[in-house]
């Protein structure tokens, strides 16, 4: 019997949109339904590259913005082979930030155009679904932990949000992140289940390229 592939599902959004909360809830629910599902998150702060990113984000080191951009992309590439293997062996990955954050944050912090920012991620596995969690500014700023890391300023977040919208293609959908946690979860679960079903016999695509992997 041929093993059906898993789906690559990504949650994107500005800071404190609720991504990490929802990624965890989705994997728990999919697992409870007997669907093989695992969390991945970017930045993955456990790798050597990830440790450098962590130091940068927490203001322990200063680095040029271009260097940081390539580190974030490199952090995805170092996980790429393992992620593809998991997906092709039937596991659905629920990913907490991915290339969308990469392009949207650097374009907002440096003023570089989005096409420059997208380029290092070209050829990574293409998400089957990107759910963009949208939150209003007042809700965002009221959530726990706001303001401690480098990019957590309202005017910057507005640019990031605008960039995320410009990155949307047919694989992206918006979800209202202002709703309560269970309502957001219900919406994401419906999207996840239908995407898993739709893509199980389809090839995994390449990000920013039209040909499948
Ligand atoms: N970055 C980048 O520049 N380039 C890249 O390529 C990548 C990332 C991948 C760290 O990311 C930074 O890296 C980030 C982007 C940049 N910018 N900054 N600063 P991160 O993912 O490690 O950031 P984080 O600090 O772990 O998470 P976050 O994105 O800021 O938050 P979140 O995951 O979206 O939210 P949460 O942790 O699920 O929820 C926040 C709080 O709100 C928490 O107390 C929840 O219980 C509460 N919450 C969540 N949902 C709700 C609802 N619906 N109602 C009420 N309360 C809620
Ligand atoms: Mg998070």
Among the ranges given (7-11, 49-53, 140-144), the one the predictor scored with the smallest mean pLDDT: 140-144
Average of per-residue pLDDT across 111-120: 97
**What pLDDT, in 10s, does the model give residues 52-78?**
999 999 999 999 999 999 999 999 999
Q: What secondary structure letter does DSSP report for 5? A: P
Ligand 1 centroid, distance to 13 Cα (angstroms): 8
| Cα–Cα distance measured from residue 175 to residue 131, given in angstroms and rounded to the nearest whole number | 6
pLDDT at 213: 57
Q: Shortest CA distance to 114 belongs to which of 163, 174, 168? A: 163
Q: Shortest CA distance to 13 belongs to which of 201, 173, 180? A: 173
Q: What secondary structure letter does DSSP report for 122? A: T
Assign 212 a pLDDT band (cuts: 50, 70, 90): low
pLDDT at 149: 73
Assign 44 a pLDDT band (cuts: 50, 70, 90): very high
Q: Cβ-count burial of 68 within 10 angstroms (0-12 exposed, 13-18 middle, 19+ buried)?
A: buried
Ligand 1 centroid, distance to 21 Cα (angstroms): 9
Residues flanking ion ligand 2, Cβ below 5 Å:
19-20
Residues, the chain: 213
pLDDT at 143: 87
pTM reported for the whole predicted model: 0.96
For 15, 54, 58, the CA distances from 78, given in Å and listed in that order, are 24, 16, 22
Decide whether any atom of ligand 1 lies within 6 Å of the 186 Cβ: no
Structure tokens at 142: 């009221």
pLDDT at 3: 77
- CATH class label, 8-199: alpha beta
Q: Shortest CA distance to 106 belongs to which of 50, 149, 64, 148? A: 64
Ligand 1 centroid, distance to 142 Cα (angstroms): 13
**What pLDDT, in 10s, does the model give residues 152-202?**
788 899 999 999 999 999 999 999 999 999 999 999 999 999 999 999 999
Structure tokens at 88: 């092709």
Ligand 2 centroid, distance to 18 Cα (angstroms): 7
122: which residues sit within 8 A by CB, 6+ positions away?
206, 207, 208, 209
Name the closest ligand to CA 14: 1
Other Cβ atoms less than 10 A from the Cβ of 137: the count is 13
Residue from 11, 105, 121 to probe ligand 1 pocket by mutation (most atoms less than 8 Å from CB):
105
Domain boundaries, the chain: 8-199
70: which residues sit within 8 A by CB, 6+ positions away?
120
Q: With contact defined as beta carbons under 8 Å apart, do 134 and 174 qualify?
A: yes
């Amino acid at each position: 019997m041929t093993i059906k592939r898993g789906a690559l599902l990504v949650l994107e959004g500005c800071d404190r949109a609720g991504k990490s909360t929802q990624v965890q809830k989705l994997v728990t629910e999919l697992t409870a339904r007997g669907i093989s599902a695992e969390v991945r998150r970017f930045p993955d702060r456990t790798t050597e590259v990830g440790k450098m990113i962590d130091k940068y984000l927490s203001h322990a080191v200063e680095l040029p913005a271009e260097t940081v951009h390539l580190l974030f992309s490199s952090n995805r590439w170092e996980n790429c082979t393992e992620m593809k293997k998991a997906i092709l062996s039937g596991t659905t990955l629920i990913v907490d930030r991915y290339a969308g954050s990469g392009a949207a944050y650097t374009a907002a912090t440096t003023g570089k155009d989005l096409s420059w920012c997208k380029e290092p991620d070209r050829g990574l596995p293409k998400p089957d679904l990107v759910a963009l969690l949208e939150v209003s500014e007042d809700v965002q700023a009221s959530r726990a932990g706001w303001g401690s890391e480098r990019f957590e300023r309202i005017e910057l977040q507005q640019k990031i949000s605008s960039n995320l919208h410009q990155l949307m293609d047919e694989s992206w959908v918006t979800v209202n992140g202002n709703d309560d946690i269970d309502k957001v979860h219900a919406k994401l679960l419906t999207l996840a289940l239908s995407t898993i079903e739709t893509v199980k016999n389809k090839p995994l695509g390449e990000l920013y390229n039209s040909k499948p992997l």
